[in-house]
Amino acid sequence: MRPVLASVGLALLAFPASASAVELNYEAPAASISRGAPLTFAVRTDAPESSVVVRVSGGNEIDEDGLLTGPEGTWLDEPATQALEDLQVWSVPNASILRQRPGRYHWQAYVSGDGADRPIGPVRQLTVTLPAVDRGRGKLYPKFGRKGSAGFLVSTANLPASVSKTRLKTLARTTAKRWNLKAGTTTKLLAGVEDGRSVAGFSADVPSGTLGVQTDYLRNGRVVERDLALHAAENWAAGPNYPALDEIDLESVLLHEFGHMAGNKQHESRCVNSPLDEVLGAGEWWRGARDHWFGDCTAAVSAASALRAKAFAHRVVRVD
């Protein structure tokens, strides 16, 4: 019996240590950095040299192995390099979306290779902040167009699950005020329906690929009703946090459409620093002159640029 046990013991020693014995201890980054600040992911580990991969995602969804996952274009893998005998790091380039785009991200480290038993580290959150002085709050006229004078009701019909009645009312009031418009009380009237009342809200009848439709109803050449209908089936981010890479920023869309309601009908070209850009993609926003992000405006391909941008629409309906 003893010779058999001895041979088994020698055989076990001949195999490498189990993958589960590899440790992945995070040393950097901190939980929050300011936009543009240096960013390095550092992992203290006894894993083989340069075998650690850093995965960063716009969401916190994980697969059956515990790895961050999500829609295509919302996460990335970057190999770490050996810095010390027991330290592997990834220093993020300045042009990376992670240093230039404010928002909330999730990340983890894992050891490269196949198999469910590969070492996978825990998920951590990283928040990239924008200085308060850069955030968009003030009036948008006359720099971005003319101001309006109209008022409207806020419809709570067709509310998406991600948008509460309270949040919609708050956003409608604050974004309309920036164009000198006035959001009134809530209503169950439908947006985008000619009924003699100006209404802003969500609708199930907005065409696919269109985020919102602002409609002016004319009688005898005079606007008698102004409606705003938002696509109810979109993946809306109601804020105040920035949208994830697969979400549409509700604040940006409201700023755009209320600009039309204020009387500014012209769209600006893609990625111009304006609330009236002709399209907006998932994970993008325009909230102010120094508070905006368009994912595919630079030469470097970003995660956000992989997601299709969607359009806005304005129409005039004569009801004579």
Domain residue extents for the chain: 21-129, 134-318
- Residues of the chain with confidence (pLDDT) below 50: 1-19, 299-307
| Predicted local distance difference test score (pLDDT) of residue 316 | 66
| Predicted local distance difference test score (pLDDT) of residue 312 | 76
Rounded Cα gap, residues 22 and 4, in angstroms: 29
| Predicted local distance difference test score (pLDDT) of residue 304 | 40
| Predicted local distance difference test score (pLDDT) of residue 12 | 31
| Predicted local distance difference test score (pLDDT) of residue 153 | 98
Please tell me what DSSP assigns to residue 155.
E
Provide the 10 A C-beta neighbour count for residue 19.
15
pLDDT (tens digit per residue) in 267-286: 998 889 999 998 899 999 99
| Predicted local distance difference test score (pLDDT) of residue 166 | 97
- Asked if residue 164 lies in contact with residue 240, where contact means CB atoms within 8 angstroms, the answer is no
- Asked if residue 89 lies in contact with residue 136, where contact means CB atoms within 8 angstroms, the answer is no
Provide the 10 A C-beta neighbour count for residue 12.
8
- Asked if residue 158 lies in contact with residue 203, where contact means CB atoms within 8 angstroms, the answer is yes
In our burial notation (b when 16+ CB lie closer than 10 A, e otherwise), range 26-45 reads: beebeeebebeeebebbbeb
pLDDT (tens digit per residue) in 177-230: 999 999 999 999 999 999 999 999 999 999 988 999 999 999 988 999 999 999
Q: CB pairs under 8 A, 24+ apart, for 144-148?
A: 144/259, 144/264, 144/274, 144/275, 144/276, 145/179, 145/259, 145/262, 145/263, 145/264, 145/276, 146/262, 146/263, 146/264, 147/179, 147/180, 147/262, 148/179, 148/180, 148/181, 148/258, 148/261, 148/262, 148/263
Please give the CATH number for the structural domain made up of 21-129: 2.60.40.10
CATH architecture of 134-318: 3-Layer(aba) Sandwich (3.40)
